[in-house]
Amino acid sequence: MLDLKFIRENPDLVKKNIEKKFQNEKLPLVDEVLELDKQIRALKQEGEALRASRNDLSKQIGAYMRAKEIDKANEIKEIVNKNNQRIAEIDPLLEEYQQKLMEKMMVIPQIVDESVPVGKDDSENVEIERYGEPVVPKYEIPYHADIIAKLNGLDKDASARTSGNGFYYLMGNVARLHSAMLSYARDFMIDKGFTYCIPPFMIHSDVVKGVMSFKEMENMMYKIEGEDLYLIGTSEHSMIGRFKNQIVKESELPITLTSYSPCFRKEVGAHGIEERGIYRVHQFEKQEMIVICKPEDSMEWYNKMWSYTVEFFRSLDVPVRTLECCTGDLADLKVKSCDVEAWSPRQKKYFEVGSCSTLGDAQARRLGIRTKNENGTYLVHTLNNTVVASPRGLIAVIENNYQEDGSIKIPKVLQPYMGGKEKIETNIK
């Protein structure tokens, strides 16, 4: 959400930003916000003037009453009554206009960074750099669900009975590999100086509205029936929400945290072959990183954060690339974002395994997260990035370490988390 003063002073820039994001249907919102702001300020001014007048008139009533000039006192009382009636009209009207103003402002997108490429959707995202040599072996690499099934590692028939489509049972050494990746990701980020955290997996609606746009909320979040609680789609939600309405000591910035959580997402729509695999699911687990910092430090942290994900996947022998998200692919709260994509030797293309974003002061403004120095309080900047989300990360490791005999070579960095095991072998001939 933008600062109202900024919209007042830069309406053309705000409109240009909306056009950059190909959301022209939102252009009228800027003028509507400015008109509501004008009406609110006028009502506030009128209300303040009426209250000040009422105070002065009340003193006059007292003076007339003491002087036994009852008629004059009654005349003033009539004026006071009319003022009170108008104040009674203004207060609910003011509340109504302020609510409308807030609703409209929540929909106006954050100003994107000047470096973000202009494009309509994710098909126009721009490749930045590749890391590692993408290899396609001479032997065929089966679909990941078939690989895992041969390792006795997947039971989707049972999950369909218990939970429906989009869920899964991971079994045996494959489940162990999945957990090993998350444990390694935790330690990887601790070694980078981040503090480990396990957050609440459910949050209130005011936190949801503070960390994401309404459109994202509708498409992603599961609501607990009869409760003001939502299942988190990523631990960023509750991690940022932890600082709601707090003034963080400037000396404590930057705050660098890495968090584990299960994640729950609707993933609306049909997705072809991915329906029978574990690429697009309603439940997964993730190691996340978040940073809360001074505004002048946010871009430096943004570049550090995505580079950590690249380093993580390269340590697993997985080739990756980074993609700069274009304006049309940015969620409304984001200032700048890039995806990290892993190489799929089966599909002979890259697929998304992580996303890094700086949101400027958007979440901080919605949630009231500030810091303080000698000049007063100001809004912090918030950033988030995926270290690894499994099972997508698991698919990347399995495909890139698949051997001709059907076994999976375990990357060296994961072997200590697998009891020293060097490979997962198939039991099916």
Query: Any idea what DSSP says for residue 420?
Result: T
Question: Among 83, 52, 81, 77, which residue's Cα sits nearest to residue 63?
Answer: 77
Distance CA 91, CA 254 (A): 41
122-424: CATH topology is: BirA Bifunctional Protein; domain 2 (3.30.930)
Model confidence at 275, in pLDDT bands (50, 70, 90)?
low
Q: Please, which residues bridge with residue 402 across strands?
A: 408
Q: Per-residue pLDDT averaged across 369-388, rounded?
A: 96
Rounded CA gap, 302 and 355, in Å? Answer: 11
Domain boundaries, the chain: 4-105, 122-424
User: With bands split at pLDDT 50, 70 and 90, how would you rate the model's confidence at 428?
Assistant: low
The packing angle between helices 27-66 and 11-20, to 10°, is 150
Nearest-angstrom CA–CA distance, 215 and 344? 30
Radius of gyration of the chain (CA): 28
Is the Cα torsion angle 203, 121, 109, 129 positive or negative in sign? positive
In order of 293, 294, 380, the CA distances from 377 in angstroms are 14, 12, 9
Least confident of 136-150, 186-200, 256-270, 311-325: 256-270
- Give the strands of the sheet with 381-390, arranged side by side: 126-131, 320-324, 336-344, 349-358, 381-390, 283-293, 255-264, 195-197
pLDDT over threshold 80, residue 218? no
Quickly name the fold that domain 4-105 has: Helix Hairpins (1.10.287)
Tell me how long the chain is.
429
The residue among 165, 125, 171 whose CA lies nearest residue 274 is 165
Per DSSP bridges, beta strands 283-293 and 255-264 are antiparallel
CB 254 within 8 A of CB 293: yes
Tens-digit pLDDT profile for residues 175-212: 999 999 999 999 999 999 999 999 999 999 999 999 98
Residue range 244-271, pLDDT digits in tens: 999 999 999 999 999 999 999 987 554 4
Q: What is the pTM of this model?
A: 0.90
Mean pLDDT of 82-102: 91
